[in-house]
C-alpha cells in the first residue's frame, strides 16, 4: 500500500483451493468437496508467501477471520495459518464461521456447467433475449442476486463498524474472509457499492488472495488494490 495509505484497514479475500468441481467448472454451492492435492498445494504456496509474521497477512494485524461453513473453506484456513497462529487467533475470539460467506446457493444448477445451465433454462422457456447471467438472473430453486446482496451487506456493515475509528492503524483491524469464487467476487462488488448486475469482470484463482481497503483513510471511500507493494523482508 502506498505510504500515504499506510495503516488503513484491509480486507483479504482468500479463495479456497481447487476441488474437482472447480477444476472442471461445475457450480459448487452446498456440495461438500475436499480440496484436490493441487488445491492443498495452492493454499500452502500462497500461505507460505503471504501469511505470517512480517508478511502481508500478519496475524498481529488481524482483528477478525470470517470463514464460510463449507469444509473446503475451513480446510483452506487450516492450511494457510500454522497451528500456533490458528491457536492465537482462536483463543482471542477472532475466528468465526458465518453463513454469510457460504457460496451462492445454485439450487437446480448445483453441479452443472454454464452451458448445461443455459440449456436447462432454455427448456424452461427462459432467457429468450439474452444468455443467462447469474449476476442478473440468480438461480432457479436457489438464491437471487438480492438475497446474496442482503447477506453480504450485513457482513460489510459489521466490518465497517470494526474499521471505523481505526483508519490510521490505531488498532489491529485487518479482516480475512475465507470463502468461494462467486461469493468473494460478489463481496467485491458490494464493497465498492455496485449492484450485483454491474458489469465488473473479475478473476480470483483457487488459493489466491485479493485485497480490499479504502482510499485516503476514509471509511466513505472503499477501494480495491489493483497492485500491492509487499512488506520488505528483513
Question: HSE-up of 54 (CA within 13 Å, CB side)?
Answer: 3
83-90, Cβ contacts within 8 angstroms, sequence gap of 24 or more:
85/51, 85/52, 85/59, 88/59, 89/59, 89/62, 89/65
Question: Is 28 one of the annotated binding-site residues?
Answer: yes
198-201, Cβ contacts within 8 angstroms, sequence gap of 24 or more:
198/135
Question: Is 132 one of the annotated binding-site residues?
Answer: no
Rounded Cα–Cα distance for residues 5 and 18 (Å):
33
Q: Which of 16, 75, 163, 180 is catalytic?
A: 16
Q: In sequence order, what are the residues at sequence separation of 6 or more whose Cβ sits closer than 8 angstroms to the Cβ of residue 95?
A: 64, 65, 67, 77, 86, 89
Q: Which of 103, 143, 180, 182 is catalytic?
A: 103
Question: Is 166 one of the annotated binding-site residues?
Answer: no
Per DSSP, the chain holds a count of helices (H) and strands (E) of: 8, 6
H or E element at residue 177: strand 174-179
**3 state SS of 119:** helix
Question: Is 106 one of the annotated binding-site residues?
Answer: yes
Decide if 216 is catalytic: no
Decide if 182 is catalytic: no
Question: Is 104 one of the annotated binding-site residues?
Answer: yes
Task: Evaluate whether 132 touches 120 at the Cβ level (below 8 Å).
Answer: no
Rounded Cα–Cα distance for residues 82 and 89 (Å):
11
Annotated binding site: 28-29, 72, 103-106
Annotated binding site for substrate: 28-29, 72, 103-106
> Would you please indicate which residues are annotated as catalytic (active-site) residues?
16, 103
Amino acid at each position: 500500500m502506498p505510504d500515504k495509505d499506510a495503516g488503513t484497514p484491509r480486507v483479504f479475500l482468500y479463495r479456497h483451493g481447487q476441488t474437482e468441481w472447480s477444476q472442471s467448472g461445475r457450480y459448487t454451492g452446498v456440495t461438500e468437496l475436499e480440496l484436490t492435492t493441487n488445491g492443498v498445494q495452492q493454499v500452502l504456496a500462497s500461505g507460505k508467501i503471504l501469511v505470517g509474521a512480517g508478511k502481508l497477512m500478519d496475524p498481529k494485524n488481524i482483528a477478525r477471520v470470517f470463514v464460510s461453513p463449507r469444509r473446503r473453506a475451513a480446510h483452506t484456513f487450516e492450511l494457510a495459518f500454522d497451528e500456533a497462529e490458528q491457536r492465537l487467533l482462536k483463543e482471542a475470539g477472532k475466528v468465526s464461521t458465518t453463513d454469510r460467506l457460504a457460496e451462492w446457493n445454485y439450487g437446480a444448477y448445483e453441479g452443472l456447467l454454464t452451458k448445461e445451465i443455459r440449456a436447462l433454462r432454455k427448456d424452461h422457456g427462459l432467457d429468450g433475449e439474452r444468455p443467462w447471467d447469474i449476476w442478473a438472473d440468480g438461480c432457479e430453486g436457489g438464491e437471487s442476486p438480492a438475497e446474496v446482496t442482503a447477506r453480504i451487506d450485513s457482513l460489510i456493515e459489521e466490518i465497517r463498524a470494526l474499521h471505523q475509528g481505526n483508519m490510521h492503524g490505531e488498532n489491529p483491524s485487518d479482516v480475512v474472509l475465507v470463502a468461494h469464487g462467486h461469493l468473494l467476487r460478489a463481496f467485491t462488488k458490494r464493497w465498492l457499492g455496485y449492484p450485483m448486475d454491474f458489469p465488473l469482470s473479475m478473476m480470483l484463482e483457487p488459493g489466491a488472495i485479493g485485497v480490499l481497503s479504502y482510499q485516503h483513510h476514509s471509511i466513505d471511500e472503499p477501494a480495491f488494490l489493483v497492485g500491492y507493494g509487499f512488506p520488505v523482508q528483513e
